Structure 1
């Protein structure tokens, strides 16, 4: 099951993602969803380039322990601004799509 598969929480309740199920507001769920996607993309970039954590840290302008937190999925330690900066420094192209809420 992927993050985007519909989840259920008891009879009659369904969610678009796990973040919708566990966060208190739609805004918090959207923030967590975006942070998660950025962290997954950054980890994949590091692996695809064959970077060590030290090399990835140098490229992204952060410390090696920060990269360690990233690859271990410590989502609470990262805000969107930091992840956007790291992704841009790593050579990833970012786009924002805005649409009407369902």
Structure 2
């Protein structure tokens, strides 16, 4: 049996925000928008909607729904994404509470 020497790979722990880890501007906004987009995708699948049906329900065009389902949320505001979830039958709760850290952060909690 041959032994193979594995190459050493440096691993860096994530901060919890891949967009910040990549050094992208507006990393917190991107994290929230991507999380909302994931929830919209899951809701559409759970409801068994076609893109056309989802578009009608969310007040969007089918091409915009297609873009969302492909992870393209750049042209959507956080508020619009939350509105889409509401129109799909989901409540959104926003809680504000103090933190021990000097600067707080945004967190998208999944039910």
TM class by smaller structure: 0.7 to 0.9
- 5 Å-filtered alignment, 1:23-42, equals 23-24=23-24, 28-42=26-40
Structure of larger gyration radius:
2
- Answer 1 or 2: which has greater helix percent: 1
Give yes or no for contact 1:8–1:15 (8 Å, CA) kept in 2.
Answer: no
Tell me the number of residue pairs that the alignment of Structure 1 and Structure 2 aligns.
Answer: 90
What stretches of structure 1 of length at least 5 have no aligned partner? Answer: 1-6
By how many angstroms is 1:77 displaced?
A: 2.3
Q: Which has the higher contact order (CA 8 A, sep 6+)?
A: 2
Alignment-derived partner of residue 22 in structure 1: 22
What stretches of structure 2 of length at least 5 have no aligned partner? Answer: 1-10, 106-111
Q: After superposition, what is the alpha-carbon deviation per residue over 1:24-77, rounded to whole angstroms, capped at 9, x for unaligned? A: 56xx22211110111000000000111000000011111111100110000222
* Segments of 4+ moved more than 4 angstroms: none
Alignment-derived partner of residue 51 in structure 1: 49
CA RMSD across the alignment: 2.2
TM-score, normalisation: structure 1? 0.75
Task: Name the CA shift for 1:23/1:92 in 2 (closer, same or farther; >3 Å).
Answer: farther
Q: Does 1:80 align with 2:78?
A: yes
